[in-house]
Amino acid sequence: MSLKIFGQTRVKKSRRGSPFERARMARLASVQAFYQMMQQEEQSSEVVIAEFISLRFNGEDYVIQPDPVLFRKLVSSADNRKSEIFDLIKASLNREGQYERLEYVLKAILCIASAELLDHPTNVPAPVIITEYVDITHSFYAGKETSFVNSYLDRLARNLDYPMTRQVITDQAEQN
């Protein structure tokens, strides 16, 4: 059986890929790792990160080898800031108890995406990051979840004054 992600079918051996493709796969792997951590709370982020990098990145799990540096940053950030991130997600929901009813996969997507917007380990503009996580969501869901992820991340990016273009990111870096 093959798994289709981002329009690509899983193959036997992963290939190196472009930096963009490797970042895309790192985001997907981060969501999967965080999901695993949510399911098995006794596992530390360090153990899960090491397992993914040593066992999954060079094997058959990914069409393109994920960027291990970005992967580590995203999972660590989401783990370190999970209470803050969970509060942000809860605050974005309309009704009491909605957060508890969210599926773990959706929570993992929202947590990793939030961590990337909060800590911005890359110089990628918010619309690109949001699109990446909407695409990941679409890999798991066909319904309203993708719209929810899109609107939540868009609001979060705007509330954080996250740069919307690469030029703004470059200008900010030059000022520092």
pLDDT, tens digit (0-9, with 9 covering 90-100), for 32-45: 999 999 999 888 99
What CATH number is associated with residue 53? 1.10.940.10
The pLDDT, as a whole number, for residue 127 is 93
* 3-class DSSP assignment, residue 15: strand
Statement: residue 1 has pLDDT above 50: no
> Domains in the chain: how many in total?
1
* 3-class DSSP assignment, residue 9: strand
The pLDDT, as a whole number, for residue 4 is 54
Q: Which amino acid is at 122?
A: T
Residue of 141 and 2 predicted with greater confidence: 141
Range of the domain at 56: 4-175
Q: Per mean pLDDT, which of 22-31, 84-93, 120-129, 162-171 is the most reliable?
A: 22-31
Place of tokens 């040593």: 54
Task: State pLDDT tens for residues 61-116.
Answer: 888 999 999 999 999 999 999 999 999 999 888 777 788 889 999 999 999 999 99
Task: Give rounded-to-5 percent helix, strand, coil for the chain.
Answer: 65, 5, 30
Place of tokens 């290939």: 15
The pLDDT, as a whole number, for residue 169 is 47
Q: Which amino acid is at 147?
A: S
Whether 85 and 119 have beta carbons less than 8 Å apart is answered as no
> Predicted confidence band at 6 (pLDDT cuts at 50, 70, 90)?
low
> Predicted confidence band at 174 (pLDDT cuts at 50, 70, 90)?
low
86 C-beta neighbours (distance < 10 Å), count? 15
Report how far residue 160's alpha carbon sits from residue 49's, in angstroms, rounded to the nearest whole number: 27
Report how far residue 108's alpha carbon sits from residue 31's, in angstroms, rounded to the nearest whole number: 5
Of 78, 105, 75, 100, give the one whose Cα is nearest residue 90: 100
Instruction: Kindly state the tokens that stand for 61.
Output: 């799990």
Of 4, 20, 132, 12, give the one whose Cα is nearest residue 61: 12
Report how far residue 28's alpha carbon sits from residue 57's, in angstroms, rounded to the nearest whole number: 12
